[in-house]
Amino acid sequence: MTQIFATDRDGSKHELEPQGHATLMEILRSAGLSIEALCSGSCQCATCHVFIEEPWLSKLKPMSDFEIAALGGEGGDLQANSRLACQIKWDDDLAGIVLTVAPEV
Ligand code: FES
């Protein structure tokens, strides 16, 4: 059963089946999507920036100050549905999640 519906930067659609309890960043990168993850998930590079659709966005823990800062704060690349994929651990509550990889900055 597909549990992640992801759109890559080039508009290509991917249906992914997560294994275990990795982060979304690890799942997307393993599937070959354009997630650089230059800081390997330490919330510093923002190259794992994704846009999460509702209702899944509301299921996530609030963003930390570090996550907001990595996205450049309110004046940066931050949008209402922005998240760093490395800060989201896969959980079955997220089954069916719809997301889009953010444009490269
Ligand atoms: S991998 Fe660098 S902020 Fe997510």
pLDDT at 40 > cutoff 90: yes
Question: What is the distance between the alpha carbons of residues 24 and 31, in angstroms, rounded to a whole number?
Answer: 11
- What is residue 104's predicted lDDT score, i.e. its pLDDT? 86
Tell which wins on pLDDT, 67 or 1: 67
User: In the predicted model, is pLDDT for residue 74 greater than 80?
Assistant: no
pLDDT for 76 beyond 80: no
Which string of DSSP letters, residue by residue, matches the chain? ---EEEE-TTS-EEEE---TT-BHHHHHHHTT-S---TTTTSSSS-TTEEEE-TTHHHHSPPPPHHHHHHTTSTTTT--TTEEEGGG-B--GGGTTEEEEEPPP-
Q: What pTM did the predictor assign?
A: 0.93
Domain residue ranges of the chain, discontinuous segments joined by +:
4-99
Nearest ligand 1 atom, CA 44? 3
CATH class of 4-99: alpha beta
Q: Which ligand 1 atom minimizes the distance to the CA of 67?
A: 3
- Per-residue pLDDT averaged across 30-41, rounded? 95
pLDDT tens column, 15-28 = 999 987 799 999 99
* Ligand 1 neighbours (beta carbon < 6 A): 25, 37-39, 41, 43-48, 70, 84, 86
